[in-house]
Chains A and B, each alone.
Chain A
Amino acid sequence: MTHCNGVNLVVAHALEAKPLIECFRLSRQLAAKPYPIYGSEEGICLIVSGMGRQAAMAATVHLGEWQAQQMGLVAGWLNVGIAGHQKLAIGAGILAHKIIERESSNCFYPSQMFSGFATGDVISVDTPELNYPENAAYEMEASGFYASAMGLVSAELAQVYKIISDNPFNSVANIDASFVTDCLSGQIDQIQRLVSGLQELAGAYNNAYKPPAVLVQLESKLNPSVTQRLQLKRLVQRYHALKCSDKLNDILEKSFNSARQLIAELELNLRRSKGQ
């Protein structure tokens, strides 16, 4: 699943996962434990976190760590799930523009990177909210998910999408298994749009910042120190940026006894370059 434009979906419940697994053709990753993790060749990954913000937080960290071992590239993150709302109709979807954690009063503001979505406040509560006191979506995972995702990626790459399952006119007591699946299925086009947007953003990020491929070879050959690794990385980036990749390849074909020697040669050649 090495992919430069991956997206990770975090859902609380297997019922919420079901339509997403079908839509994105995900298959169970047997090596992943203890959480159920599903993945696809296209770089979409899904984890079922369990209910509540602590569970969402832990699952997000777990998936991030598991993926870091696997590929080392940055992915987009999307928390999808059902929520109650004071005003919105059943089945409506909203992209969170503000997440309020009721317990701590902490607020998060996901970057608004995608147009064409209804947006709104999301309030993360520890016990189901049955009175819907504010014009907001009430749910239990968003703040935990978002706080964890912020530790893994840049804010633009983490989003929260909620689908309204209950409101003052349709009690939470009416929610059953097929209803949850229907709620998610009804918003699948919007979720696909969000996933595509996040894939594009993650791709742009990884293309800009992924380490040059040649660096891995150099590191295994010359065993540089941490400082030397950073120097080598920047020098290789500079050769590429200045469109001197051929010159870089010529230098790398020579043999060097140490990283220090190679760094000196790379620097010297850059200084000699026309216009430098």
Chain B
Amino acid sequence: MFSAIYIEEEVANTERVESIVQRFPDLPQIRCERYSEIFNRKAQNFRLQKRAPALILAKKYGKLVLPAPAGYGFDASASYYFSHMLNCVYDCRYCFLQGMYRSANYVLFTNYEDFGAAIDAAIEQSAGSPVFYSGYDCDSLALDPVSNFCRFFVPEFSRRPQATLEIRTKSTQIRHLLEMQPIPNCVIAMSFTPRQAGAGWEHKVPGIDKRIEALGKLQMAGWKVALRFEPIIFGSEIFEAGTDATDTLAAYRQLFIEVFEKIDPSTVHSVSNGLFRMPLGYYKNIVKLYPDEALFARQTETRNGLVLLSIDRESEQLEALEELLFGFINPQQYYRCG
């Protein structure tokens, strides 16, 4: 799972870190002053490092809770995100993290209590019911057996009923959630792309069937679940029948059938989709990292600092996809991620 564990001196003797380290007695344990001595240094190659990523246990300083990017979430209320972890155990080729960091190591910030205090401060500053997103710089559930993220943060939000926590994930690590009593202000949002996209770009990600099964179990247990059909990538050669958007729609039709066969749409919290998009700087970094990747060799355009794939009749295709989706859900459950 990890090639080594780096441990900041400041957190080395904390209970949380000790319990994590005890799980991996055979791994090299390397002390450091600050995680930045290892993470994101110059002369690191994300692509090579992804072959043997290490875990870095650290303390997060500075702003622990940040405003969510415009168009990220499902609610018009104040939206924030927090990252107890940097980087993801999966290796999705379309993911912006590859362009954001030079390092593929995982940084786990273990001062959860400080995150709790920062969430409190954000709630105090917000009018209405703020939403907190976890899973922006990582997949919060994927490392849950190690991080115990859910065991800490779900009870935190049960004490803050005025706020909502969205855990965005592609993981099937739901054991800790199933051991808990569901709370009404926590949403587990599972991301899906069609089977062909998964096979082509989502390396190390649990299969669609397993993800649907996990989400179904959560729904049955009483958790609020949500569906994130992102990123939508029209007209890729990976959709076997051809390269036009019609084939993408056919792939999505199949995906929707599979998902809604097991997931009851009537109690789904929300459903979203969003086109592939990425900040220009990250995109440039990724192109350098994967010059041989067909996805990044396609024609692109830049809008408001975001790179998008150039798609013929983009709005029309997106609307067709939404129409398809509305055959399964109530449009009021839906939002388009910008």
Give chain A's interface residues, CB within 8 Å of chain B. Answer: 97-98, 107, 109, 111-115, 119, 150-151, 153-157, 201, 204-205, 208-209, 234, 237-243, 270-271, 274-276
Contacts and interface: CB of A to CB of B under 8 A. Distances in A.
A276 B299 contact: yes
A115 B42 CA distance: 24
Contacts of A205: 45, 48
A112 B3 contact: yes
Contacts, number: 98
Contacts of B38: 109
Contact of B52 (A98, A114, A209): A114
Q: Which of A111, A237, A242, A243 has the most CB of B within 10 A?
A: A111
Given A109-B37, A243-B294, A275-B237, A154 B48 contact: yes
B293 interface: yes
In the A-B complex, the 6 residue pairs with the closest CB atoms: A275-B243, A241-B297, A238-B297, A154-B45, A112-B4, A112-B3
A113 B44 CA distance: 12
25 contacts: A98-B30, A109-B6, A112-B52, A112-B54, A113-B49, A113-B51, A113-B52, A114-B52, A115-B3, A115-B52, A154-B45, A154-B48, A155-B41, A155-B43, A155-B44, A201-B48, A208-B290, A208-B292, A238-B297, A239-B297, A240-B292, A241-B292, A241-B294, A241-B296, A276-B299
A112 B28 contact: yes
Contact of A208 (B49, B54, B291, B297): B291
B32 A109 contact: yes
B175 interface: no
Interface of B: 3-4, 6, 28, 30-33, 37-38, 41-45, 47-49, 51-52, 54, 235-237, 243-244, 287, 290-294, 296-299, 310
A111 B32 contact: no
B168 to A, nearest CB: 29
A208 B47 CA distance: 10
Given A113-B3, A157-B48, A205-B48, A150 B43 contact: yes
B34 to A, nearest CB: 11
Contact of B32 (A107, A112, A156): A107
Q: Which of B38, B48, B235, B310 has the most CB of A within 10 A?
A: B48
Contacts of A112: 3-4, 28, 52, 54
Given A97-B28, A208-B292, A242 B297 contact: yes
Nearest to A94: B28
A111 B44 contact: yes
A98 B31 CA distance: 9
Contacts of A156: 44-45, 48-49, 51
